[in-house]
Amino acid sequence: MHNVSIKVKNLIKEYEINVLDHKSFKYDLINFFNLNNFFKINQIRNNKIIALNNLNFEINKGDIVALIGENGAGKSTFIKILSSITEPTSGEIEYDGKLLALLQVNAGLAGDCTARENIYFLSAMHGFTKNQIDQKINDILEFAEIEKFDETPIKKFSGGMTTRLVFSTILNFKPDILIADEILANSDDNFKIKCIEKLKSLNEDGTTILFVSHEQELIKKLCNYGILFEKGIATQKIDIDECYRRYTKNLK
C-alpha cells in the first residue's frame, strides 16, 4: 500500500431491525406462555437500515483525521469495522501496521483489580508481552497521574482517572494506527492538553490517528484533515476547515 495507511473500498454495512430470532430464549418464552398476540410476532418483518453506504476513501500514513458527523451518521459503525468488532456486509478495509483502538473506556477492565493489574490486562489484550509491559508500566502510571494509586482497585477510581489509565496505556505503546472515539469526554482541560501534545508527538513519529469528538476546538488543535459522515455516506479526506464548513452547512 506504499504511503497509504487505511484504504476503504466499496464498504457497506446493513443492519436488520425488529427481527425476532426464532432460536432465541425470548421466542421460546412467547410461545410457552402463549403471548403471540401480545408481542405480535407474526407482524415482525426483516427491515434493514443501511448504516454505511458504499464508502471509498484513503488515509495516508502520518495523517491526523477527524471523523465528523452527527450521532447516527455512521462514524462508530465504521470504527467498529476497522477495529474488527463487527463485519461489513460487503466491501473491505485494508490497513498497514499495528492498530490500537480507544473506544469504550471500561472495556476489558476489572473493577476489583488494581490499576497496575489492569494495565497488564489491557496491554496483554492488545498483544503486548509481559517484558514490553514491564518496560512501560512506570511511564504509563506517570502519564496517567495515578502513581500513588497503582495498588488501588479501579472500582474506586473516578471516571476521569479511569480514562487517564486507559488512554495512557494505549499511547505509551506507540501504535502505527490509533483510533480515539470520544475518549477524552470525561477528562479535565489540563489532561486534554497533555493528551493532545502526546498525540502530536506520536504523529511526528509516524502514527496515523483517527479522532472522533464533538469538541470542535479540540479537533482543530489536533487534526489537519476531516472526513464528513452524513446518513451513512462519507466524503473523501478533506481540509479540516472545509470539513467543518460543510458540516455546519448541513445542520442548517
Task: Give the per-residue pLDDT at 126.
Answer: 82
Compute the distance between CA of residue 153 and CA of residue 155 in angstroms, rounded to an integer.
5
Where exactly are the structural domains of the chain? 62-251
Residue numbers in the chain where pLDDT is lower than 70? 1, 17-47, 104-108, 183-187, 252
Task: Give the per-residue pLDDT at 170.
Answer: 86
Q: Which residues of 38-50 are buried (b: 16+ CB within 10 A; e: fewer)?
A: eeeeeeeeeeeee
Task: Give the per-residue pLDDT at 10.
Answer: 96
Question: Nine-digit cell at 20?
Answer: 425476532
Are 175 and 83 in contact, with CB atoms under 8 Å apart? no
Q: Which CATH architecture has domain 62-251?
A: 3-Layer(aba) Sandwich (3.40)
* 4-17, strands of its sheet edge to edge: 47-60, 4-17, 90-95
Supply angle C-alpha 155, 156, 160, rounded to 5.
Answer: 90
Collapsing DSSP states into helix, strand and coil, what is residue 219? helix
pTM over 0.85, yes/no: no
Task: Give the per-residue pLDDT at 67.
Answer: 95
Give the residue carrying C-alpha cell 459522515: 229
pLDDT in tens, 160-206: 888 889 888 888 888 899 998 876 666 677 888 888 888 899 999 99
Give the residue carrying C-alpha cell 493489574: 117
Task: Give the per-residue pLDDT at 6.
Answer: 96
Q: What is the percentage of the chain residues whose pLDDT exceeds 90?
A: 51
Task: Give the per-residue pLDDT at 18.
Answer: 57
Task: Give the per-residue pLDDT at 203.
Answer: 92
Task: Give the per-residue pLDDT at 196.
Answer: 86
Task: Give the per-residue pLDDT at 42.
Answer: 47
